[in-house]
Amino acid sequence: MSRLAATHSGVERTLIGTKVEGALNDQIRKEFYSSYLYLSMGAYLSSLNLKGFAHWMKIQASEETKHGMKLYDHLNERGGRVILQQIDAPPSNWKSPKQIFQQAYQHEQKVTDSINKLVQLARSEKDNATENFLQWFVNEQVEEEATANEIAQKLQMIGENSPALIMLDAELGKRAP
Ligand SMILES: [Fe+2]
Ligand SMILES: [Fe+2]
């Protein structure tokens, strides 16, 4: 179903469909939740004095905010209504940096599923602009999953080796915004 808006010329113009609008609003919530989750992970890593890991998470959190804003702007541009949803509190404690990055990887896999469902919805609703817009997110998710998995794998190899953990901390601390 699509809503209609009268333009200045008096001609009615179709706005974004209500199903796609609802799903985009939900995706905005998920992106802001991702930002919240990574900020919480960053705070935990800071408490372990792993400043490089914490820095990496803060940058990741700001990337997620940008993703949320991309969707926010798209919805506005398409004549939809942004309705911000409640954001759940993220977990605040983990067992280890390895567990954090394993969870980050799993979280990104869930986000990928959500983006894929959104693409399928846009396609079935014949919303070509949204389907095309979402391709950026499809590509971004490939990178997001690969990066989180790579760090999780490194932490798996590092195990209890503190010098190696400190080296990885230094490497992640170099992440540019
Ligand atoms: Fe994202
Ligand atoms: Fe992400």
Closest CA to 35 of 86, 76, 90: 90
User: pTM for this structure?
Assistant: 0.92
* Tens-digit pLDDT profile for residues 124-135: 999 999 999 999
- The mean pLDDT value for 73-95 works out to 97
- Identify the pLDDT of residue 100: 98
Residue 15's pLDDT band (cuts 50, 70, 90): confident
Residue 9 Cα to ligand 1 midpoint, Å, equals 38
Which residues are CB-contacts of 62 (< 8 A; sequence separation ≥ 6)? 35, 177
Residue 105 Cα to ligand 2 midpoint, Å, equals 9
Residue 3 Cα to ligand 2 midpoint, Å, equals 31
* Tens-digit pLDDT profile for residues 154-167: 999 999 999 999 99
